[in-house]
Amino acid sequence: PRKIIIDTDPGQDDAVAILLALASPELEVLGITAVAGNVPLPLTARNARNVCELAGRPDIKVFAGCDAPLSRKLVTAEHVHGKTGLDGPALPDPKMPLQDAHAVDFLIETLRAEAPGSVTLCPIGPLTNIATAFRRAPDIIPRVQEIVLMGGAYFEVGNITPAAEFNIYVDPEAAAIVFASGAPITVMPLDVTHKALTTRARVEAFRAMGTEPGRMVAEWTDFFERFDIAKYGSEGAPLHDPCVIAWLLQPDLFSGRRINVEIETKGTYTTGMTVADWWGVSGRPANALFIGDVDADGFFRLLTERIARL
Ligand code: BDR
Ligand code: CA
């Protein structure tokens, strides 16, 4: 199986991404690193463990990482995800332990210990943990197999400001470090995730499984939909973060372009914008595979089939 580390700020859609990974034998989750984002760090570190327990995997190692962006105050998204970050169905306090090590140390030690090019990083929150690890231990950068991240936007522009997507906006300096790192990067921007919509039929398919994970996925999506449908006027809400895991399982569901992406860190109105050179007008070298389209029915078929296994 392909070795991955999920770097996350759960988040209902993060939770679904974690479940998808844990349900998939093609992937070996070496660890889950929590970061501050949708809600503060103590809650994301707790929620990540709740999700592992829900998947029947209390053996997964969960680490707490950075509790604030590199050089800014944390911006959170309780207005989308609720007070706990995982509002919707009530969850008990997790029984599995939080690891003692810091998430950044775990990232550095794991990338040094595993064979070069054998570990894929899956960031689905702000990039603070990854950037901190890269800054502290640049020797790990060439050892990364691939970074597959959810963040940014091009045609779909922003969801937290008119120009910026939440994960990049929260810590643009961290995103700039990661995009300049030279590691191979695949990006799932809003352009893709806004095509992966939780329509009624798709949500009911989760509920109809009659399993605890199926019911949770249905209730989580019900919860954040209330906000997103009103905001976007779409049928269903974008299910952002599971796109990252689906790419690892079935890349033929997606299509995109290798382009140059720079991160705006100093804009008056555009801080956190992913300046994505889709038409190749800048002459700057490509540094990312920017995904633009997804077969949404195929994506939900995969997700439903996998969640049903839990
Ligand atoms: C991203 O922001 C978070 O609220 C979601 O979990 C996702 O990672 C979407 O902009
Ligand atoms: Ca997230």
- Quote the CA–CA distance of 152 and 296 in Å, as a whole number: 19
Query: By three-state DSSP, how is residue 226 classified?
Result: helix
pLDDT tens per residue, range 128-137: 999 999 999 9
Mind telling me the catalytic residues? 240
Average pLDDT of every residue of the chain: 97
- Quote the CA–CA distance of 96 and 111 in Å, as a whole number: 24
Which atom, in ligand 1's list, is nearest to the CA of 241?
A: 8
Q: What angle do CA 188, 194, 196 make, to 5 degrees?
A: 85
Interacting residues of 30 by C-beta distance below 8 A, sequence separation 6+: 3, 4, 5, 61, 110, 114, 119
Pairing state of beta strands 27-34 and 62-64? parallel
For a pocket test of ligand 1, which of 167, 187, 221, 243 has the largest count of ligand atoms closer than 8 A to its C-beta?
167
Average pLDDT over residues 126-148: 99
Please state, for a pLDDT cut of 70, what percent of the chain lies above it.
100
- Phi, psi of 60, rounded to the nearest 5 degrees: -65, 140
Q: Residue 226 Cα, ligand 1 centroid: separation in angstroms?
A: 15
**Confidence category of residue 157, pLDDT binned at 50, 70, 90:** confident
Who surrounds ion ligand 2 at CB < 5 A? 9, 11, 14, 124-125, 241
Rounded to the nearest 10 degrees, the angle between the axes of helix 12-22 and helix 41-54 is 40
Is ipTM > 0.90 here? yes
Ligand closest in space to the Cα of 167: 1
- Quote the CA–CA distance of 4 and 148 in Å, as a whole number: 10
Q: How far apart are the first and last CA of the chain?
A: 18
Provide the pLDDT for residue 206. 98
Pairing state of beta strands 274-276 and 261-263? antiparallel
Instruction: Determine which helix (DSSP H) or strand (DSSP E) holds 56, and give its type and residue range.
Output: none
Whether the predicted pLDDT of 230 surpasses 80: no
- Quote the CA–CA distance of 243 and 297 in Å, as a whole number: 13
Whether the predicted pLDDT of 121 surpasses 80: yes
* Nearest residue to 164 via CA among 74, 268, 45, 71: 268
pLDDT tens per residue, range 191-205: 999 999 999 999 999
pLDDT tens per residue, range 16-28: 999 999 999 999 9
> What letter would DSSP give residue 13?
H
Provide the pLDDT for residue 62. 99
Q: Residue 9 Cα, ligand 1 centroid: separation in angstroms?
A: 8
Whether the predicted pLDDT of 227 surpasses 80: no
> What letter would DSSP give residue 149?
E
**Confidence category of residue 233, pLDDT binned at 50, 70, 90:** confident
Indicate the pTM of the whole model. Answer: 0.98
- Phi, psi of 79, rounded to the nearest 5 degrees: -65, -20
Instruction: Determine which helix (DSSP H) or strand (DSSP E) holds 211, and give its type and residue range.
Output: none
Provide the pLDDT for residue 226. 76
Ligand closest in space to the Cα of 13: 1
